[in-house]
Amino acid sequence: MVHQTMSTKTKPAPNASKKIIHMRFLSLGLMMSAIVGLLSCSLPIRVASPPVQTLPMPTSSPAAAPTPSIASQAPVGISRSKWVAANWTDLPQWSNDSLPQAWGVLLRNCERPIAAWISLCPDVRRLSIADETQQRQFLMDQFQPYRIENLDGESVGLLTAYYEPVMEASRIQRPGFDVPLYKAPTAALEAKRRGASWFTRQEIDTLPQAQLALKGTEIAWLSDPVDALILHIQGSGRLRINEKDESVRTIRVAFAASNEQAYQSVGRWLLDKNETKDASWPGIKAWIARNPNRVQEMLWSNPRFIFFKEEEISDSAQGPKGAQGVSLTAGRSIAVDPLSIPYSTLVWLSSDGPTQKLNRLVAAQDTGSAITGAVRADFYMGTGQQAGELAGRTRQQLRMWALWPR
């Protein structure tokens, strides 16, 4: 989901100011939490405990904390971060996380394993029905922890969160549904191949040549331009879509491409223009209520525009696919800067903030245009309204340890 992942990221576009005046602010309040994540806690995964199978016990004690091995090597090609070998005792509350809950994210890694993982995947699958003691010992035996730092040695960074919204949509343009979601037009893909950007968001809405290039690429139509921006920010979402024959089904729209313009936060735009001192979703909602005729201006402040592809949902419990190519797991997948942390890397995430306290095992399985730097992660909350509310409130300090195969 290149959450843009997202990372955000036909006739001329509808006049947003007319639409916003009639917005249902209660509905917007529930959705605007996603925008706060741009200034850029966990939904607990509640699953039944797997049956326990008795497996040969490791010879070393689970309480052991091996010192960094000189044979351990961090991955090559990491240009935006430093990896400093650490002890298991450095990881806050390492022994307290529920590994049976976390094990699914390791299994996801083995669906598309990188070279460093291939030899581990048979044991990962075998241990999916093991007890927690055996799972923890496997990780301690097979992985080396590294403290993630930026290039100047700072080890404290920023955690934000994202989610998969669920929205009402129509397959065809009709009264009340006239905000299009587009497939990637040929012209935009050709510009990307040349290493160039395509039209900005404002130009897409206003220039006849942009509208001509997009004609016939509409996937679906939404009722609200702010809802469309939220989908662009999150990188994917589910649509309860009213089809041409009036039947209703749920589909997923996933990130396909972008216009290759730089992402800009609408919350940051409001702050920089001194339009608000509160860029949380209540603050942005309050600004919209005071300035319904300026909403289009706010939307255009983010030039990045996302194009989507339609996907069937075979399993409603699975999240969208991240940049690694595997389905995201709520509360266990993060988006990272791949030049700091490679996809599939297991990460011990430690974050203590006003929204929640997190000390848990996660996997780097996605990225986003706003997710850059070493100690930086976007935490995937899950699907729907509650996940969106939690994601919108998450902005707190972060420390990270990469667990890399020995």
pLDDT in tens, the chain (406 residues): 665 433 333 444 444 443 333 433 334 343 444 443 433 433 333 333 333 333 333 333 344 444 444 334 678 778 999 999 999 999 999 999 999 999 999 999 999 999 999 999 999 999 999 999 999 999 999 999 999 999 999 999 999 999 999 999 999 999 999 999 999 999 999 999 999 999 999 999 999 999 999 999 999 999 998 899 889 989 999 999 999 999 999 999 999 999 999 999 998 999 999 999 888 766 777 898 899 899 999 999 999 999 999 999 988 888 999 999 999 999 999 999 999 999 999 999 999 987 789 999 999 999 988 899 999 999 999 999 899 888 888 989 999 999 999 9
Q: Mapping DSSP to helix (H, G, I), strand (E, B) and coil, where does residue 179 land? A: strand
Q: Which CATH number fits domain 16-40+164-311: 2.70.170.10, 2.40.240.50, 3.40.50.1390, 2.115.10.20?
A: 2.40.240.50
Distance, CA of 375 to CA of 351 (rounded, Å): 11
Per-residue burial over 322-358, b if 16 or more Cβ lie within 10 Å, else e, is bbbebbbbbbbbbbbbbebbbbbbbbbbbbeeebbeb
- What are residue 365's phi and psi, to 5 degrees? -130, 5
Give the list of residues 6+ apart from residue 53 with CB closer than 8 angstroms, or none: 129, 130
C-beta separation of 110 from 121 below 8 A: yes
pTM as predicted: 0.78
Q: What is the pLDDT of residue 49?
A: 30
Per-residue burial over 8-19, b if 16 or more Cβ lie within 10 Å, else e, is bbbeebbebeeb
Alpha helices in 225-375 (DSSP H): 225-234, 266-272, 281-290, 295-300
Q: What is the pLDDT of residue 260?
A: 96
Q: What is the pLDDT of residue 282?
A: 63
Strands 376-383 and 333-335 come out as: antiparallel
Q: What is the pLDDT of residue 181?
A: 98
| Selection from 16, 403, 393, 399 nearest residue 201 by Cα | 16
Q: What is the pLDDT of residue 362?
A: 98
Domain boundaries, the chain: 16-40+164-311, 82-160+319-405
Distance, CA of 179 to CA of 261 (rounded, Å): 21
State the DSSP code for 68: P
Q: What is the pLDDT of residue 3?
A: 58
CATH topology (fold) of 82-160+319-405: Barwin-like endoglucanases (2.40.40)
Element (H, E) at 294: none
Please report, in angstroms and rounded to a whole number, the separation of the first and last CA atoms in the chain: 29
Give the largest Cα separation in the chain, rounded: 71
